[in-house]
Amino acid sequence: MTAVKRPRTSLVLLAVTVALAALCAAPAGAEPRAADPLKEVLFVGNNWDGTADVVRSTGTFAKVGHINVIPDKTQRLTEIYLNPVRLAIYLAIQQGPGEGHDQYVDDMYTTPDGKSVVVSRPSFGDVVSLDLATGKVNWRYEVAGYRSDHMALSPDGRRVVVSASLANTAFVLDIQTGRQLGSFRTGDKPHENVFTEDGRYLWNMSIGEVQTNLDDPLWDWTKGDRHITVVDGTTYQPIRTIDMRSRLNAFGRSDLSNAVRPVAFSPDWSKLYFQVSFFNGFVEYSVATDKITRVKTLPANPATNPDRTTWPNDSRDHGLSMSPDGAKVCVAGTVDDYATVVDRTTLQEGPLVPASKPYWATLSGDGKSCIISESGANQITAIDFATGQKILSVPVGYHPQRVRLGHVAADWTGPAAG
């Protein structure tokens, strides 16, 4: 029988294919490598000392690790002191919203792979990504206007939006690279940002001017243009604006400010609960009907100084979270020094849990607890949604504010030394 001759090119391709297959083949008995295991944690931003404490997201909330969020402090301060405009703004931030202190960390989110944490740093006017293994800066984005504030993470974990409070603009960044993906104009002094669960919309709340002493209701008109800006979650084009001034007036509460502070949506996204400047309580707003439906006034602490100009950044209550089932609302009574869990159906508050200047409220990893930051006591405190009672407190750094759920490597205990 005559042998069949293969073309030389076919033999070469066959050899290459075999070689590639050998290189790619896993050793006998080996399984495909899975992604590095992650653990869920809570990041606590210590605003005045420029660090973040990382604690367990449930149970004991024990300390897991610690990270310096201003490893480039010397470089940043050198740049600031060499620029008269930046120096003036830096000092204004220090003496204004910083209450005499630098604001080194406002908000934080981890990347989906748990390898980095992205932080907004008001005094440095930027957003940085920090490598959790080394503590070094991966990338840095400077916002317009020299002051960065609250952020939000998109549902897919790929984008962060940051409020540039002195530029009346919010910027959307790629969380891995820091590349700007879009931006949109807001009301005066943009603050809170929230993506809807499906990522279709992004809500931004502006609080107006909070640094003047014109805090009497008669001078409310001097506080600027305060409204909610709703944009498309993909194009970042405005869909609508909502000024709560007319809605509050229609509900008979013209005495309340329309500066929307922290917010919480109901699980079905039909109701928005929000705090406003100078008010001890919160407001319920129907998204479908575009109307205020209820207002909850919480007890005033008799020891609270009634002089509004002494309240930090026009806040009275600053911190709001909702239990996953939508049954309870947790409120941080910042100036009145307590936190409480409110029944959403009856609006009846539970026990008033003493707390020192609570400045934020969020959920534990299992959703069973409300976690507040006690900025006046340098600790976080867990409150049981079911009973409204305090569970425990954990010490953290200087003036904790924002607390966010995140993920780190399963064996992470902080950046490596050196």
Q: pLDDT tens for residues 205-230?
A: 999 999 888 989 889 999 999 999 99
User: Is the predicted pLDDT of residue 233 greater than 80, yes or no?
Assistant: yes
The band of 35, judged by pLDDT with boundaries at 50, 70 and 90, is: low
Give the Å distances, CA to CA, from 128 to 58, 138, 140, 191: 27, 7, 4, 18
Nearest one of 165, 149, 156 to 233, comparing CA atoms: 156
Question: First-to-last CA distance in the chain?
Answer: 73
Q: What is the mean pLDDT of residues 190-197?
A: 96
| CATH superfamily of the 35-409 domain | YVTN repeat-like/Quinoprotein amine dehydrogenase (2.130.10.10)
Within 13 Å and on the Cβ side, how many CA atoms surround 102?
16
Indicate whether 279 pLDDT > 70.
yes
* pLDDT at residue 36, rounded to an integer: 77
Secondary structure (DSSP) of 153-212: E-TTSSEEEEEETTTTEEEEEETTT--EEEEEE-SSSEEEEEE-TTSSEEEEEE----SS
Rounded Cα gap, residues 344 and 37, in angstroms: 37
- Of the candidates 339, 349, 344, the one whose C-alpha atom is nearest the C-alpha of residue 383 is 339
Q: Which amino acid is at 355?
A: A
pTM for this entry: 0.90
Instruction: Break the chain into its structural domains and give their ranges.
Output: 35-409
Average pLDDT over residues 115-128: 98
Helix (H, G, I), strand (E, B) or coil at 90: helix
- What is the C-alpha separation between 266 and 285, in angstroms, rounded? 10
